[in-house]
Structure 1
Amino acid sequence: MKHRLFIAIPIEENIKSLLIENTKLPKFYRITKRENLHITISFLGDTEETQIPQINSILQKVTQKEKVFNLSIDSFGQFPEKGLPRIIFATGSEGKGKIINFANLIRDDLKTIGFYDDKDFKYHITVGRLDEKEKIFGYVNISNLKINVKINVNKVILYKSDLTQKGPIYTELSLFNLNINQ
């Protein structure tokens, strides 16, 4: 049986609240549901259930070696960078190099078992998506969005994603704590 899987860093509840409070977007954007806010490390896609133990083994190995670290959330951005923003995201500068290295360690090890994520890792938390049903060509001034918080990165989760008419539902399959003893 196949499951739609991804690996992510969860966001603390108080940070989720701040993200939602500080993200005021026009009505033609859908705000990401509170329970779905996270930092994607790697999207694995449709994955055979029999591969989950191998994925877990990689995550266990990497997280045992990596020390807990902090990230800032101090700015907002958009995808694509030019033109009509389809995705609005929160990001930050502090810890950016650390999370990129951490994500690349996981992604490189995943290649050994057949998972190739061909997109460069970009540290971001999706906070809103353009509603494709809206035929609007509006403008979002992301410079008006303000936030300045820190995230303590101390765990990684393997999630299953079930797509429904009401949006995706994420289920935690495995949790791995980063090393606190280094």
Structure 2
Amino acid sequence: MHLNPSSLSESELYKILSGAVSPRPIAWISTMSQEGRFNLAPFSFFTVVSSEPPMICFSIGPGEGEREGTFKDTLTNIRDTHEFVFNFVPFNLIQEMEQSSKDYLPDVDEFNEIGVNQLNSTIVKPPGVKESPIQFECKLDKIVPLGKYHLVIGKVVHIHLKNEYYQNGKLNLIKLQPVGRLAGNYIQVKEIFNLK
């Protein structure tokens, strides 16, 4: 089968791309508006892009539904404040993460709405998710417009990591139980193997 991307609908392309590039980790991003309102939302177009300097990136799509044609609150907040926090999503927080993906109005505090607690950050102003085992405080490096999407690249300036998940200089991923996206579904990491 040979497919020309220009002949496919946006929905068809999205399903092929998001299905083929999987599993995808989830960036649960917390931000704060200029007015001090908190926002929390997940993004699965996400990865680490550099360890020296430590940098991550994620892509934010356009507003949807009733907010079609607008920018998502996460993008607006990062543009205004140049700060955000990445929160790791373990299996036990999958319901809260999913609930935070709803299209809330800008004045809604997702922390309160979904019932998670704030973790005070050390360097940036937005808080992290206290229940999450890992938080990366980030400063904005740049935002790159990509069609309807915006690629956000941030430098990690501080790391919060619960002691019980860090052993012998590395993360215990079996204990962390990370989840990811498989197209529109989720996957839980239960088994790890190597080829050595």
Query: What TM-score comes out, normalization by structure 1 length?
Result: 0.26
Higher relative contact order (CA 8 A, sep 6+): 1
